[in-house]
Amino acid sequence: MKIENKSKFVHFFIVIILRYKIDKLLTLYKGLQIYKLRYRGFFHSERLLPIVLRYLSNPKTNNTMVKYVSKALLMLAIGHLFLFIGCNETSTINVPYISSFTPLKGRVDTVVTIVGRNFSRTASGNMVNINGYRCPIISVSDTEIVIKAVPGISSGIVSVTVHDLSAVAINSFELNEQVIESFEPDTAMVGEQINFTGRFFSDKVDSVHVRFNNVEVPIANYTVVDEVATFSAVVPANAYTGKVTVRIAAIEVETEKDLVIKE
């Protein structure tokens, strides 16, 4: 493309700077990528740049019109500079950061404390996930969030999202796997009660489900003391010899040995 004179040559590079330099600075500047300020209006590079380049390269374009273009480009540059400065304060305030969380390992319903900065001071302004599963918030400040690792979570990353800005902890949360330690009696008839003992189950009986073969049954006498859960269930009709399954959300564990059903 041939540029007719020095004035048009200068304006050509003004457009290039506006497209690549200011846009890049705004995008990379800390926090501004949050707003994705990519000039989706009139001053969008894919729309404006080709038009201006064609105009400046046109031999019929006179110097008077070039001056008008120069003023317009200058006003656009100043406007976007003010936009860049005006967004600076908001962007630096709203970027969340996680410095640590405790404990690093726990069972379902463990209370987890997340420490960092730039959290929202209202619970509704924060979204906390463990491996992509949202956890309820117990308390919150701008430097600390306390959550509960409810049934449904699994081992994985801890993240906090504040106004569409996300922070991820360096360490991952490790979920203690549920274990059925024992059950008795190991031989029973339909209608008899089976007593179970296990570890790392939920605090709430509503989250725990017991299945004999493919039949789910209600749980009774559910208690949790020092991470040890005890509960009972009645052998349902049509049950047959096999393993008993305990499910918490999507996580299932089976007894190591079969429950023998007597005729």
Residue 212 in contact with residue 239, Cβ under 8 Å? yes
- Do the domains 94-175 and 179-261 sit in the same CATH topology, yes or no? yes
Q: Domain extents for the chain?
A: 6-92, 94-175, 179-261
Instruction: Tell me which residues of the chain have a pLDDT lower than 50.
Output: 1-4, 21-47, 49, 88-91
Taking only the tens place, the pLDDT of each residue in 35-90 is 333 333 434 444 454 555 555 555 555 556 555 655 565 566 555 555 555 554 44
Residue 205 in contact with residue 219, Cβ under 8 Å? yes
CATH code for residues 179-261: 2.60.40.10
Predicted TM-score (pTM) of the model is 0.61
State the CATH architecture for 94-175.
Sandwich (2.60)
